[in-house]
């Protein structure tokens, strides 16, 4: 039977309730609020937010105080950041639409389904394509690409391209001259 123990929420119930209201008004809405307002609100609730961050409509961030966004990051429409543990997205990285980052899980060997939450880190220059799922404890290496609908439950080395439902490394990412 699930007991719900072991979760460090990180803020008081009052702060969390205030965030729920702000999230509903400015982040989950289809209205395209200016990014400077969204960044200011995230910072107000304890997030670290770099410059040039673009957050599209309908983005669900559970605990902004457990979020770090580098410079020039893009978070696409309808992304889900289930950050019961910290999520770090480094500079120049992008989440396409409907990406799900789950820094939360349960231990299926536990009768009480105790939490098995772990942080997620997306290193510099990554692109996470539409509807990809990144699980707890995963680090996406620098300059890597995660293909559409990939399910990533193990860390990805730098300069990799991962695709498919098993998110296997298919090749090393090589750059051409621009």
Checking 156-159 for CB contacts under 8 A at 24+ apart, the result is 158/123
Band of the pLDDT at 56, cuts 50, 70, 90? very high
What is the pLDDT of the chain when averaged over all its residues?
A: 94
Helix (H, G, I), strand (E, B) or coil at 92: coil
Q: Is residue 47 pLDDT above 80, yes or no?
A: yes
Task: Please report the pLDDT score of residue 177 as a whole number.
Answer: 65
- 19-to-80, 122, 127, 170 alpha-carbon distances in Å: 15, 24, 28, 40
**Beta-strand relationship, 100-102 and 168-172:** unpaired
Category of 27 on φ-ψ map: left (φ > 0), alpha (ψ -120 to 50) or beta = alpha
**Beta-strand relationship, 168-172 and 160-163:** antiparallel
Q: How many CB atoms lie within 10 A of CB 43?
A: 12
pTM comes to: 0.93
pLDDT per position as a tens digit, 117-175: 999 999 999 999 999 999 999 999 999 999 999 999 999 999 999 998 876 777 787 77
């Amino acid at each position: 039977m699930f007991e719900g123990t072991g979760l460090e929420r990180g803020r008081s119930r009052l702060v969390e309730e205030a965030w729920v209201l702000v999230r509903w008004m400015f982040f989950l809405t289809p209205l395209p609020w200016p990014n400077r307002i969204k960044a200011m609100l995230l910072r107000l609730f304890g997030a670290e937010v770099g410059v040039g961050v673009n957050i599209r409509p309908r983005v669900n961030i559970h605990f902004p105080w457990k979020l770090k966004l580098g410079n020039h990051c893009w978070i696409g429409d309808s992304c889900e950041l289930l950050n019961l543990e910290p999520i770090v997205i480094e500079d120049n990285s992008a989440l396409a639409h409907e990406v799900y980052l789950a820094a939360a899980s349960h231990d299926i060997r536990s009768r009480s389904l105790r939490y098995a939450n772990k942080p997620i880190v997306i290193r510099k220059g990554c692109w996470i394509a539409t509807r990809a799922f990144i699980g707890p404890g995963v680090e996406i290496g620098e300059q890597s690409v995660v293909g559409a609908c990939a399910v990533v439950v193990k860390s990805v080395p730098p300069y990799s391209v991962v695709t498919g439902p098993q998110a296997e490394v298919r090749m090393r990412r090589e750059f051409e001259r621009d």
